[in-house]
Amino acid sequence: MATVAFYAPAAAGHVNPTLGLAAELVRRGHRVTYATTPAYAERVAETGAEVVPVTSTWEGRRDVRTPQMHGRELARAMNLLLTETRSMLAQLADAERPDLVVHDGPMCWWGRILARRWQLPSVETWPNLVSNEHWSMARAYTTFNPLSPRFLLMAARISRFLQQRGAGAMEPFMRGDSAALRLVTLPRAFQYAGDTFTDRYEFVGPLFSERAYQGDWAPPGDLPVVLVSLGTAYNDRPDFYRTVLRSAETRPWHVVLAIGDVDPAALGPVPPTVEIHRHVPQLAVLRHARAFVTHAGMGSTMEALHFQVPMVAIPQMAEQRANADRIAELGLGTTLPPAQVTADTLWTAIDEVTTSHHIRTRLTWMRDELTTAGGTPAAADATERLLP
């Protein structure tokens, strides 16, 4: 039996994609420890992993708005992540040395530093589109000025921090060059220029877990179900939720609406065909849904594809725009820019994706691609090959 230590930032889009792998390694007889915050402890414990409690500098702060990961916001995002990394390393200073480290690739800098400190192989989980010389998120969807004084100052601070901890130069560190394996939790067919990525990337597809912690859900009647959710990070859109509520009453749909931390009282009357939740048991709802109005986060996108639910993508940030464009390009749904959302455009899009034979055919094709990718068993096999 080996000990595998998991690390991920306190964000659903980065924790959830790791849970299936943690559960499978436990099932195969390994000891799994998982450093996480109270907000995610229940879902981690459900996998059978031992919860290592930590606190986040991000959680519970009303004064910190989630930054965009490009443009003028990039330096602020990097500063928040540097602060979080310092805090996590301090909390994990006396952590037990495992046999292998598994950590989130895009944001979990402390997992990368700990693996290097312990001189252990690491497995990085990448829950989003990845980049190489043929396709890059930075070139295609994000904009920032590399000569901006704020960015240069932030880059200098990070470089100094990495040097002090023996983590090497900034550029290869950010790419995750030291990882023994990168598990990309989407199928190669969904990745832009997917065929150009080397064997260092294992496109294993989504790694689902049972998520009993979320509870179950069943439709209350015979109306077709549409799930509407803008995710957990960029969901402060009361105007959008009001548009959904005001237009739903005359439509023959049952709407499940997730509103995050928005005050329900600020949204006005709720039609009898709409149910409002702060968060929903998304897998359980998608199991019954005919359509999904989504922010196009990669986790939500993969969940919709697993259940072959057509999507109306309303992206809220650059990474989600890339996902939304890929959804439309591959014929898995359609995209609707946030500024163009009205009652008419929203329901026209829902009608379009639910009646299109082409979209239905493409969803079946992509579901086969998810199966071929191998999912959790393939990810666990690749991880076990690195164990002593």
125-157 pLDDT tens trace: 999 999 999 998 888 887 666 667 888 898 899
Tell whether the model's pLDDT for residue 211 goes beyond 70.
yes
Strand 254-258 to strand 225-229: parallel, antiparallel, or no bridges (unpaired)?
A: parallel
Candidate CATH numbers 1.10.150.120, 3.40.50.2000, 2.30.30.40, 3.30.460.10; the one for domain 3-184: 3.40.50.2000
What is the pTM (predicted TM-score) of this model? 0.92
Q: What pLDDT sits at residue 68?
A: 54
Nearest to 355 by CA among 387, 324, 310: 310
Contact call for residues 376 and 20 (beta carbons, < 8 A): yes
239's enclosing H/E stretch is: helix 238-248
Phi, psi of 8 (to 5 degrees): -155, 150
Tell whether the model's pLDDT for residue 70 goes beyond 60.
no
**Token output for 40:** 């995610």
Q: Give the whole-angstrom CA distance, residue 139 versus residue 151.
A: 17
Average pLDDT, rounded, for the chain? 92
Fold assignment, 213-371: Rossmann fold (3.40.50)
Half-sphere exposure of 267 (CA within 13 A, CB side): 26
Residues of the chain within CATH 3.40.50.2000 domain(s) are 3-184, 213-371
Q: What angle do CA 102, 105, 106 make, to 5 degrees?
A: 155
Dihedral sign computed on CA atoms, order 111, 116, 118, 119 = positive
Mean pLDDT of 356-375: 98
